[in-house]
Amino acid sequence: MELTGFTDSLLSRERAEDMAKAVRGVRGVIDEISIRTPDVPDEVLQQRVEQALAQDPAAGTYALQCSAHDGEITLDGSVQSWAEQQLVLRVVFGVPGVRRLQNRLLVQGGVLNNTDEEITNQIREFLAWDIRVKSTLIDIRTDHGVVHITGTVGTAAEHAHVVATAYVAGAARVDARDLFIAYWAVDKELRRQKFAPKADEDMAQAIRDTLRYDPRVDFLALTVHVRDGEVTLLGAMSNLKSRHAAEQDARNVVGVGQVHNLLQVRVQNPAPDEFTLDQVQTALAADLFVGRYTFVVKVNDGLVQLYGTVATHFDLERAADVVTGISGMVALTNHVQIVPEKHEPAVAEDTAAGVGQGHAPFRSLEPDHLLQQRIRYHYAWSALLHDQDITIDVRKGRVTLTGTVDTLLDRKSAAVEAYNCGAQDVNNHLRLTPLLSQPQAL
């Protein structure tokens, strides 16, 4: 698949590529999307990038330098791992006005300076416990830090994730030329074999290992308990983003049916509420995706309440992500509501009575069966959802999902796709598919 056209940020281009890779049948993506943004003076752009990096709870602790010239940012400095490097790059991708990025960050290794055998074993363990990968079809070999990956995956998204996992485990370079993408590798039975029940302690250790390699999470400050597939996270994190990241990491581990996130956020030397309020408002206003909306923000002892309306579910989640990425917060209550944007309906004036003088939301005029068909169409092309047992019911634009899916990721993806198709609300009653056998160790 080839992507062409224009967008306003590196982050938008990356998102478009990720969405394309997740489509069933796509074996590769050629990204020819160009970045078009208004010209920003070099000094202003450099200040924007420096501020974005300083505000991020993780990237703000790294020794970094940046410079700007004609929309291009050059990054210098050092980080301890590939994962830290990717975290920094993603922050910069989201800064308005950045058209190109020259990455000169040095990965020093640090705690991930592993031997070839350790790298190979760690990659295998990561893949075996990752719900996004069918690891039995993949073979790993490491030679002088270079990881050679062979085998078969079902999607371009899975291919990219396997390569990223190798870098996270400490690979200096990854050769995935012989990791092929084949349609048959998305077969449901291959997933069901992987999702056979696992012993609770094995699952808990897999979660700890995943958290240990996530630069957003202070894994030494938390405790993981697992009982019958239900995970409880205990401890104290230094920021809200770390708390959310730990929960998401746990949800991506094979066998996890539910996550109870009891992590507390304890901020050392908390900033005054007025300062946090200004930081949150500035970050929201500057964001590429939600900067066009008007939000009301209230802060009390580090507890942030966010009010406003947005047009899509993506915007709602993006606003929350922006806010949780601000250092010094203890908790966020998101009161933002979704109100689809209004469009002029293509109907005659005399047929538009009762719809607000022709300015009612376009989606509210759409028959429920058309929304249902669109969701089914999106599910059919989704590598994750095309063969899941999902029933879709639509009434007055509100979608109810029932049936079973394999993982928590599938459950969330089904709801997100429904929102993306135009659902005004989603009642997600999907359950996880019953496991097939007795617990077994990986």
The string of DSSP codes covering 212-233 is: HT-TT--GGGEEEEEETTEEEE
Residue 361 has pLDDT above 50, yes or no: no
Give the pLDDT score at 210. Answer: 94
Give the pLDDT score at 278. Answer: 93
Give the pLDDT score at 28. Answer: 87
Q: 12-26, 97-111, 292-306, 349-363: lowest mean pLDDT where?
A: 349-363
Q: 39-48, 184-193, 359-368, 377-386: lowest mean pLDDT where?
A: 359-368
Give the pLDDT score at 342. Answer: 59
Query: How would DSSP label each residue in 100-143?
Result: EEEEEEEE--GGG---HHHHHHHHHHHHHHBTT--GGGEEEEEE
Sheet architecture: strand order including 138-143: 138-143, 146-153, 173-181
Cβ-contact 240, 218 below 8 angstroms = no
Residue 356 has pLDDT above 50, yes or no: no
**H helix runs in 382-440, sequence order:** 408-420
**Cα–Cα distances in Å, from 73 out to 52, 76, 80, 99, 381?**
13, 10, 21, 8, 37
**Cα–Cα distances in Å, from 38 out to 11, 97, 282, 391?**
16, 7, 19, 45
Range 233-261 average pLDDT: 93
> Comparing C-alpha atoms, which of 111, 34, 118 is closest to residue 80?
111
Q: Which amino acid is at 394?
A: V
**pLDDT tens across 32-59, in order?**
999 998 899 999 999 999 999 988 888 8
Range 363-385 average pLDDT: 87
Cα angle: 317, vertex 155, 406; to 5 degrees: 65
Residue 334 has pLDDT above 80, yes or no: yes
**pLDDT tens across 399-439, in order?**
999 999 988 999 999 999 999 898 988 999 999 887 644 44
Q: Is the pTM above the cut of 0.85?
A: no
Share of the chain above pLDDT 70, in %: 91
Q: What's the length of the chain? A: 442
Give the pLDDT score at 162. Answer: 96
Residue 266 has pLDDT above 60, yes or no: yes
Give the pLDDT score at 136. Answer: 87
- First vs last C-alpha separation in the chain: 36
Q: Which amino acid is at 306?
A: L
pLDDT grade for 188, boundaries at 50, 70 and 90: confident
The tally of CA atoms less than 13 A away on the side-chain side of residue 433 is 22
Range 189-216 average pLDDT: 86
- Give the Cα separation of 388 and 414 in Å (integer): 10
Structure tokens at 361: 């939301």
**Cα–Cα distances in Å, from 89 out to 10, 94, 238, 344?**
10, 9, 22, 40
Helical packing angle, 200-212 and 240-251, nearest 10°:
140
Residue 362 has pLDDT above 70, yes or no: no
Residue 63 has pLDDT above 80, yes or no: yes
Range 274-278 average pLDDT: 92
**pLDDT tens across 75-131, in order?**
999 998 999 999 999 999 999 999 999 999 998 865 456 789 999 999 999 999 998
Range 145-160 average pLDDT: 94
> Comparing C-alpha atoms, which of 194, 121, 122 is closest to residue 153?
194
> Tell me, what DSSP letter sits at residue 198?
B
Question: In this structure, are strands 222-227 and 230-237 parallel, antiparallel, or unpaired?
Answer: antiparallel
> Comparing C-alpha atoms, which of 245, 239, 301, 233 is closest to residue 266?
239
Count of CB atoms situated within 10 Å of the CB of 120: 21
**H helix runs in 213-299, sequence order:** 240-251, 273-286
Q: pLDDT higher for 356 or 302?
A: 302
Average per-residue pLDDT for the chain: 87
Range 242-257 average pLDDT: 93
Give the pLDDT score at 365. Answer: 57
pLDDT grade for 264, boundaries at 50, 70 and 90: very high
**Cα–Cα distances in Å, from 15 out to 90, 93, 184, 289, 299?**
11, 11, 26, 12, 31
Give the pLDDT score at 187. Answer: 79
pLDDT grade for 26, boundaries at 50, 70 and 90: confident
- Give the Cα separation of 119 and 115 in Å (integer): 6
Phi, psi of 244 (to 5 degrees): -70, -40
Cα angle: 401, vertex 133, 440; to 5 degrees: 90
Count of CB atoms situated within 10 Å of the CB of 227: 10
Give the pLDDT score at 393. Answer: 96
> Comparing C-alpha atoms, which of 439, 383, 371 is closest to residue 407?
383
- Give the Cα separation of 248 and 211 in Å (integer): 10
